[in-house]
Chain A
Amino acid sequence: MSHPSAVRIFLKTILARAWPRLVSTYRNRTWVVTETLLPLIGTIAMIYVYRSLHAPARYLGFVVLGGVLLAFWQNVIYSMATQFFWDRGAGNLELFAMAPTSLAAILLGMAFGGAYVSLTRAVTILLVASILFGVGYSAAGLLPALGVFVLTISALYCLGMLLASLFLFYQREAWQLADAMQEPIYFLSGFYFPVRSLGAIAGGVGSLIPLTLGLDAIRQLVLPGTPRFIPLGWEILAVVVQLAGYAILSLISLRYLERRAREDARLILRST
């Protein structure tokens, strides 16, 4: 009997793990509502703040683009970083550990599936908020912005893979930690204002999250006149470095923490 190659198993695992996410895009309607409306309502609230301040129109675009990427950040936190925590609670993690495949492939599958789910939510937020509040974008910058967006999301999900391995060590506090990574990150990443306003130090710390520089680059491309944090070329280069760096780090971290988790019996530890 012939055995499938390791590469084939790896690729099939990615597909297998991505599939439930793709299916869930529309099947779980209650999640469709929360995943779309939560960032959309947050975005609308911030738009009204700018309106009350009589801000120039491009600031509304700032908020809308922040809201679009916010949907991805929430997906990375709740459906990537904490996913092994949920899987462990449901008894899936021990099955993953026994299967003849790698956790990295499972995480990649989650990332692809999750990115697609978030994309559907993000497009809705972009369209609804832009139409409702009459936000316009520079057509010339749309294609390059799309390229930066793909790079940013790739780097972000690599960071999500890294966080997923770290969250293997958390128990019930995982939920609260995920919650604690909302507003502080919105602040540091400049979701609702130019990153430049934070200054070099806070902006530099925030730049460890790929969204910060990616969002700033996208804004520079589609909202002319945006106060830039650092030049566009440097931002793109930094996101590429983050993409590679977080991918490598997540693989190393996953291998190390998986071994530690096996030794400490954390793969089967029920915490919910």
Chain B
Amino acid sequence: MSAAIAQWRGFKAATRLGWEISSNWTRPLIFVIYSVLRPLSGAFILVVMYRVISGSAPGTATYLAFLVSGVAFWSFVQYGFAGLANGMSEDRGEYRMLKYVYASPVHFYVYLLGRGLAQLASAVASTAIVLVVATIALRLPIDPLRVNYPLLLGASVLALLAVIGMAMAYGLLLLLARDSHGYGDLGASVLYVVSGAIFPISVLPGVLATIAALSPLVYWMELIRRSLLGSHAIRMFATLSDADVLLRLLVTTAATLIVAHLVFGWADRMARRRGLIDMESNW
């Protein structure tokens, strides 16, 4: 059996494992309700906040589309980042199987990629339902026939690579702590503030706005809105063309992956040296 086939099998097994862990606790209907209820409520919180301030003034639908698209696609970060980072701690502490993954012939990256992909599958359903429900209920200017799908898909693939890369590095860093429960969500919350998901990053104070501009998530959010809403999109980078924003996304994603790889390598060495891979964390 070639090495590539072994890695592929490992990837498939990891994807299936991730999916089973995140979904086999309940019946499919309840799982769907659970996966949709949270982001939908999150979106409607913002809708009500906006309506409280702006009422039904002209341009309402455009701004609501800005909010809803950000919240809908945020599920990818919530599941992909927090889910994967938490998953690594769970594999060690709750399921006590991380050491077996390390001992298996599958490269750890391949295993984590599979685990992350399973998380993203849940996010797809959540994002689609939030977009459909909100577009119909709020009459958002999103026309499925006019969406720039190549741009949306290309930007999302790049951003999700960055998200999984960040989650891998962050998740492995969390292994350095005995009790890192909740830190995956904490990391996702921080990204939420600096991603431009629910407000333009120009609102942030100078230092935070600069940090936000270095994150691929901001450019992803911008491209999501441009591809979904076209000329109706409220732009965070009004002076940049689509190609410019895509280039920035590409560069920041590449930089993020390089940094994530370095952090991952360092955290991996530390975890091995300190014997943290099979540490009993009293889950």
Interface residues of A, Cβ cutoff 8 Å to B? 28, 30-31, 33-34, 37-38, 41-42, 44-46, 48-55, 59, 171-173, 175-177, 179-180, 182-184, 186-187, 191-194, 197-198, 272
Contact = CB atoms under 8 A, between A and B. Distances in A.
Given A41-B186, A45-B198, A183 B42 contact: yes
A102 to B, nearest CB: 28
A193 B44 CA distance: 11
Given A49-B198, A52-B199, A53-B54, 6 more contacts: A34-B185, A37-B189, A50-B49, A187-B42, A192-B49, A197-B51
A51 B199 CA distance: 9
Contacts of B180: 30
A269 B167 CA distance: 34
B94 to A, nearest CB: 7
A128 to B, nearest CB: 14
Given A38-B182, A45-B198, A48-B203, A180 B49 contact: no
Contact of A193 (B42, B45, B199): B45
Contact of A55 (B41, B48, B53): B53
A24 to B, nearest CB: 11
Contact of A38 (B94, B186, B200, B204): B186
B53 A53 contact: yes
Contacts of B128: none
A38 B54 contact: no
A21 B179 CA distance: 17
B52 A186 contact: no
Contacts of B203: 48, 51-52
B52 A197 contact: yes
A48 B53 CA distance: 14
Contact of B34 (A38, A172, A176, A187): A176
B193 A48 contact: yes
B34 A193 contact: no
A5 B254 CA distance: 69
Contact of A50 (B26, B30, B53, B204): B53
Nearest to A46: B49
A191 B48 CA distance: 11
B153 interface: no
A182 B53 contact: no
Interface in B220-252: none
Contacts of A48: 193, 198-199, 203-204
Nearest to A198: B48
A20 to B, nearest CB: 14
A38 B179 contact: no
Contacts of B186: 33-34, 37-38, 41
Nearest to B45: A187
Contacts of A52: 199-200, 203
B108 interface: no
Contact of A184 (B37, B51, B183, B189): B37
A184 B179 contact: no
Given A41-B189, A45-B189, A48-B199, A184 B49 contact: no
A197 B48 contact: yes
A59 B53 contact: yes
Nearest to B182: A34
Interface string B190-208: 1011000011100110000
A146 to B, nearest CB: 26
Contacts of A183: 37-39, 41-42, 45
A52 B283 CA distance: 41
Nearest to B179: A30
A44 B193 contact: yes
A55 B200 CA distance: 15
A198 B192 CA distance: 25
Nearest to A30: B179
A117 to B, nearest CB: 14
A41 B178 CA distance: 23
Contacts of B185: 34, 38
Contacts of B190: 41
A34 B34 contact: no
Nearest to B195: A45
A171 B25 contact: yes
A31 B183 CA distance: 9
B177 interface: yes
Interface string B27-47: 000100110011101101110
8 contacts: A45-B199, A52-B203, A54-B53, A173-B26, A179-B38, A183-B38, A193-B45, A197-B51
Nearest to A55: B53
A62 to B, nearest CB: 9
Ranked 7 nearest A-B pairs via Cβ: A34-B182, A183-B41, A52-B199, A172-B25, A41-B189, A184-B41, A187-B41
B181 interface: yes
A182 B38 contact: yes
B26 A30 contact: no
A42 B51 CA distance: 20
A28 B281 CA distance: 13
